[in-house]
Amino acid sequence: MPDYMPRYWHMLRCIPRHPARIDTATLAEKLAAEGFIVSRRTIERDLEKLAVYFDIEADKRDRPYGWYWSPAVKGLDIPGMSMSQAVTLTLAEAHLAPLLPASMLDQLAPFFHRAREALKNLNEVAASKWPQKVRVIQASQTLLSPCVNDEVQNTVYNALFRDQQLRLTYLKKGADTPRAQVVNPLGLIQRGQLIYLLCTYPGSDMPLTLAMHRIKSAEALATKAVVPQGFNIDAAIQNGLLQFQRSDVTEFEAIFDKRAAAHLTESPLSGDQQMTAIDEHHVRVTARIADTEQLKWWLLGFGIKVEVIKPIALRDRITEIVKGLHQMYCSK
């Protein structure tokens, strides 16, 4: 394909139908957004050439001319995919595929393929290189994803999509034998490399999470899943699922090494965070935040560069861990 053809196709997509119009300056902006950097004079020449083969016209009563599709054109389907669409779909495939049902992925597969081909064919256009320039990395230690049975995953996702109950066999952490159970699927939560099924047992409104890689078999039932009244997935997470967050917000206070706390000036713990210098090397940090397991492990990662003052319960939990570590490492 000639290098100018993708530019031509995108230009034709940007031209509106009569009576709307578009001038060359606006066309230049739209082309630039897709990575096609050309002068307005080049665009004018391109439009003159395209007008020979397509029913596009220019309103030459005023400058700059306004271009439009002829009123006689009833419909037009320009083949191909824009650069923005190709880049977006490529990134979506990379990061969202684990959370989509197989039926959706099958329908999207042709679009993902077209997106990859579009970027490959337009590798000289700056925008096409965007997927190679961005990465998402974990804030914590990177772990390999556990093995998830494809058939089980498809069954679970389809039942969740169709609001059907599931009969599962689930191997609980630390158990030797899977246990059969019926659940109402409510949602999916991805945390790091792990995907969890959010669900309830029949007769209970208490949400719980099951790790996808520990589900050994799954069968979709004809029975409709029962969703607790007022259920909200975000509220469920806030209330302590996966020990990610509890509902109680508390007054947090800690003394940080000044350099260790430097990033909190750019990414504060909360909107009401306060940082006060204690001396040349230490700062006091206060904020109203949720007392979570994630907060505890985050603080432990600083080692001796942070001392928790309150809440007292959090300070006590960290103290017990430090005592245990001291006993472990100093008793040998």
Name, in order, each residue with C-beta under 8 angstroms of 134's C-beta and a sequence gap of 6 or more. Answer: 91
pLDDT by residue (tens digit) across 308-324? Answer: 999 999 999 999 999 99
How many angstroms separate the CA atoms of 314 and 300, rounded? 11
Could you say which of 2.30.30, 2.60.40, 2.160.20, 1.10.10 is the CATH number of the domain covering 151-242? 2.30.30
Nearest to 152 by CA among 220, 103, 209, 106: 220
pLDDT of residue 188: 93
Whole-prediction pTM value?
A: 0.64
How many angstroms separate the CA atoms of 281 and 307, rounded? 13
Strand runs (DSSP E) across the chain, as ranges?
A: 56-59, 66-69, 164-170, 179-191, 194-200, 208-211, 215-224, 249-257, 274-277, 282-290, 306-310
Nearest to 149 by CA among 189, 195, 104: 195
DSSP-assigned letters across all residues of 140-198 = S---PPPP--HHHHHHHHHHHHHTEEEEEEE--TT-SS-EEEEEEEEEEEEETTEEEEE
Whether domain 5-69 has CATH 1.10.10: the reply is yes
Strand partners, 285: 254, 275
Assess contact for 22 and 28: CB atoms under 8 A: no
Per-residue confidence of the chain (332 residues) as pLDDT tens digits? 566 777 887 888 888 888 888 999 999 888 887 778 888 889 888 888 888 888 888 888 888 889 988 887 655 555 556 677 778 888 888 888 888 877 677 777 877 887 887 777 665 566 667 777 777 777 776 777 888 898 999 999 989 998 999 999 999 988 999 999 999 999 999 888 889 999 999 999 989 999 999 999 999 999 999 999 999 998 887 766 665 545 467 899 999 999 999 999 999 999 999 999 999 999 999 999 888 888 899 999 999 999 999 999 999 999 999 999 999 998 76
